[in-house]
């Protein structure tokens, strides 16, 4: 009877170890990308920020935080490829936008497929002076960050 109990404990212990090993193997991976303003972008001022990408399986959660934005300015977030040809796509759900607070801070959170994320070279945050994130004719670059090294 004691041998049976010992076997059950060993098998149970191995199951716990295997479960922990699997949990560690699928642990989320986090990448931090600095967002910077180009000095030639007159609307950006001293804006800066960070994009945190947390991959968990086939999903990637994106959290963008920025400061130094125009108070109550409307911004949208875009994936962009410069080469071999110019391509762009909104990040997350349309209209891909957030509004900066009065203190110039802004946050944008969304999720995308990890496979889609791999297709893009750069993330751009653009300001919409008229407050309409769907107006792509009047927008100004604010911040950018390189997704690929």
Transcribe 126-148 into DSSP letters. Answer: EEETTS-TT--SS-EEEEEEES-
- Full domain range(s) for residue 113: 28-146
Q: Choose among 26, 108, 32: nearest CA to 59.
A: 26
Give the CATH number for residue 82: 2.60.40.200
**Is residue 10 in a domain?**
no
Residue 122 resides in a domain = yes
The pLDDT score that the predictor gives to residue 41 is 57
CA 106 distance to own-chain centroid? 14
Question: Is 64 contained in some domain?
Answer: yes
Q: Quick check: is 50 in a domain?
A: yes
Q: Which of 50, 91, 72 is nearest to 129 (CA)?
A: 72
Count of domains observed in the chain? 1
- In terms of phi and psi (left: phi > 0; alpha: psi -120 to 50; beta: otherwise), the region of 57 is left
Q: What is the mean pLDDT of each run of 10 residues along the chain (149 residues)?
A: 50 43 60 86 73 95 95 95 92 95 96 92 95 90 89
For residues 73 and 99, the answer to whether their CB atoms sit within 8 Å is yes
């Amino acid at each position: 009877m004691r041998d049976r109990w010992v076997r059950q404990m060993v098998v149970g212990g191995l199951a716990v170890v295997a479960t922990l090993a699997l949990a560690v193997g699928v642990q989320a991976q986090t990448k931090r990308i600095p967002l910077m303003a180009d000095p030639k972008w007159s609307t950006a001022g001293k804006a800066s920020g960070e994009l945190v990408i947390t991959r968990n399986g086939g999903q990637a959660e994106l959290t963008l935080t920025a400061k130094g934005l125009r108070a109550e300015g409307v911004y949208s977030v875009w994936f962009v490829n410069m080469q071999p040809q110019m391509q762009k796509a909104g990040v997350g759900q349309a209209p891909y936008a957030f509004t900066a607070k009065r203190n110039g801070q802004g946050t944008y959170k969304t999720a995308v497929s990890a496979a889609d994320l791999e297709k893009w070279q750069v993330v751009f945050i653009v300001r919409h002076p008229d407050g309409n994130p769907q107006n792509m004719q009047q927008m100004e670059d604010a911040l950018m960050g390189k997704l690929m090294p």
